[in-house]
Amino acid sequence: MGDATDSDHSSNMDSATRSLKKYEAEALPVKSVQGSREPMELYSPFGPYIAKTRLSSLLVEDINRFVDKELQRAGVRGAEFILPQELVEAGGTESLSHQLADNIIAYVEASESSRVASVTIEAIWVVNQPEASASPVHFHSADISGVFYLKVPEVDVREEQRNYISGRRAGYLNLLSGGKQALNKSLISFKPVVEDMYIFPGWLLHGVEPFCGTGERRSLAFNANIELHS
């Protein structure tokens, strides 16, 4: 057999470049501040993107009606259960499953250099938590995870003046990556707001702190797996 041609070598190099490109962060600043003489741009290349968006109030109303009936039937306040497929699929292109898939595709394609070939939603479940309930820090086995808020409690305003490290009890979502490294941010917290949805990699550590107040914290969580076009 003859030696490989220059075009073969070039093709192999191009293929290797494309396959490795996904690991290279784009040189895009996330923040600009004033330096000693000129503006200074800050980058966040080594952590995953966390997406925040909103879903419709109609979805919130439909899911809450179902959950309220389930909780009343079971006679409990704190509960966790899978949503039935008929509710997940109801509404065609406006359905929960369709909107989740669309947002997952938008998130992944903003994070990767490849198009999404398919999204498989592995599970969708509701978590209803009364006062003092928490979800310890954990990760998921799926490619993508997320949370969508259905109800939020009234919390003690003094708790919101604290932070996660000092033991805040305000029901915030906390996402963690790394530890106490110098010149690095390893924690971000989000206050739950009805209709807000967050999407992040399933491997990213996350947890929910308890809240001190009245009402309940009701969220919908989901796991999904993706395939990218080669």
pLDDT tops 60 at residue 171: yes
CA distances from 125 to 70, 79, 218 (A): 13, 10, 11
Q: Give the C-alpha separation, 227 to 71, whole Å.
A: 36
The per-residue pLDDT for 3 is: 61
pLDDT tens track for 48-93: 999 999 999 999 999 999 999 999 999 999 999 999 999 999 999 9
pLDDT tops 60 at residue 182: yes
Task: Return the minimum-mean-pLDDT range out of 42-46, 81-85, 100-104, 159-163.
Answer: 42-46
The per-residue pLDDT for 77 is: 92
Cβ atoms of 156 and 162 within 8 Å: the answer is no
Q: Whole-number mean pLDDT of the chain? A: 91
Q: What are phi and psi of 159, to 5 degrees?
A: -70, -35
pLDDT tens track for 149-167: 999 999 999 999 999 989 9
The per-residue pLDDT for 198 is: 96
Q: Could you tell me the pLDDT band of residue 36, with boundaries at 50, 70 and 90?
A: confident
pLDDT tops 60 at residue 1: no
Of 84, 80, 88, 97, give the one whose Cα is nearest residue 216: 80
Torsion of Cα atoms, 108 then 111 then 112 then 114, to 10°: 50
